[in-house]
A and B are shown apart, each in its own frame.
Chain A
Amino acid sequence: MNEEIVRELVRRFKHGEEKAYNELVNLYKQRIFNLVLKMVRNREDAMDLAQEAFVKAYHSLKDFREEASFSTWLYRIAVNLCLNFTQRDRFRSFILLEDLTQPVLSSDSPLKDLEQKELDKAIDQAVLNLPSKQRTVFILRHYQELPHSEIAKILDKSEGTIKANYFQAIKKLKKSLAGFIE
């Protein structure tokens, strides 16, 4: 994503051009939705929270001092929103897992579908069981494919801490998913 274009959109929005914000939303909506979905592991909630992240960003953007990049700043908002949500709604997230884990079904192989469903459920639970810091680092690294240095900026931690959290997350996931590894 071209950082210069993003900075220009931010500048235009700060000067009162509302349309510029729509363009920013268009640029980041897919990434933020994916992040939120992996964080809360619940489709309905993710659909709401992704929009909510942009609502929060809208209200704060005028005060955004551009010390970090817009994407780092937006990720931070989305991550905090999800962490607050999962902390508040942890029990509900767990009980909804079974209903909401719906892999793409292929009618020619029901057994494969079932195995896929079980795997998705196991991954959901394994990820949700991670401590929040490790979960966040794992999601930003694994699904969003962000470098450790960028994750460190988003979470305002040192790169070493991020690496340690990521290592611990993988170690725990390896243990939780051992039953699926032949």
Chain B
Amino acid sequence: MRCKNIQVKLVDYYENSLPPEEKKLVQSHLEICSSCQEELQKIRSTFELLKNESAYEPDEAYWINFIPGVRSKIEKGWGTTLVPIPKLKIIGGIVSLALVLLLGIFFFKEDQRVMFKSSEEPYSYLLPAEGEKIDQLFYAEAGNESSISKLFSDTDRNKLALAEIELEKNNWGKGGKEEALRELDLKQLENLKKDLEKTKFKKEIL
């Protein structure tokens, strides 16, 4: 028998777990092969070394508390996970990813809302604080034409003009245009503002 075939049996030979016939074959080979003898000696030394490993015994308290510990874990529902840990990790990863995506969408929308809000700023004077009269708007339009041109597109300005025409159709009454504007319902101004906002929002999206 060749050394290679003998050496795979040396661990079993050392442990005395070979069938009698194989044991005999190994023994005869060992008598004439110094290389395999050396290999067997190394295996023997390795096992001797492993036997010298320190033993560890938990203290008595551990054993006394062993069953109560097991019972306590059973009551707390340990070991009832139906999904193995690696799968839980994958699920956790997917959930995390979904959360990140949802948060991303939320913040994107929030960002758009803020953008939209900030886009309101140029129009903010269109909506006077509660109780104020809308004449401020038209005062601003009349007295600050250049800045309004910058703030509004032609479309927006056309809308303002149309709104003014609408107002004119309503007869100015005794007090004339100025007085009519003072009496103008705030709701109309709010509708105008909403209109403008829609126009502005469409521009942002496009």
Contact = CB atoms under 8 A, between A and B. Distances in A.
B50 interface: yes
12 contacts: A29-B63, A29-B66, A51-B66, A51-B70, A58-B79, A59-B74, A123-B53, A142-B50, A163-B12, A166-B11, A173-B50, A180-B49
Given A51-B69, A163-B12, A167-B8, A43 B79 contact: no
A93 B78 CA distance: 22
B43 interface: yes
Nearest to B75: A55
A167 B49 contact: no
B45 interface: yes
Q: What are the 7 tightest A-B residue pairs by CB atom distance, in nearest-first order?
A: A103-B54, A55-B79, A56-B79, A181-B45, A174-B46, A55-B73, A54-B70
Nearest to A85: B85
A123 B49 CA distance: 9
A170 B69 CA distance: 36
Nearest to A147: B17
Is chain B's binding surface mostly helix, strand, loop or mixed? helix
Interface of B: 8, 11-12, 17, 42-43, 45-46, 49-50, 52-54, 56, 58, 62-63, 66-67, 69-71, 73-74, 78-80, 84-85
A52 B73 contact: yes
Interface in A88-129: 88, 101-104, 116, 119-120, 123
Contacts of A43: 56, 58
A177 B49 contact: yes
A52 B66 CA distance: 11
B85 A88 contact: yes
A84 interface: yes
A162 B73 CA distance: 34
A174 B42 contact: yes
Contact of A119 (B11, B45, B53): B53
A57 to B, nearest CB: 8
A33 B63 CA distance: 10
Interface residues of A, number: 39
Contact of B70 (A25, A116, A180): A25
Given A33-B58, A119-B49, A181-B42, A22 B67 contact: yes
Nearest to A169: B11
Interface in A123-159: 123, 142, 148
A33 B57 CA distance: 9
Contacts of A104: 54
A58 B66 CA distance: 14
Contacts of A54: 70
Nearest to B54: A103
A3 B74 CA distance: 25
A109 to B, nearest CB: 14
Contacts of B71: 22
B56 A26 contact: no
A74 interface: no
Contacts of B50: 123, 142, 173, 177
A123 B55 CA distance: 12
A6 interface: no
A85 to B, nearest CB: 9
Contacts of B56: 37, 43
Contact of B58 (A26, A47, A177): A47
Contacts of A167: 8, 11
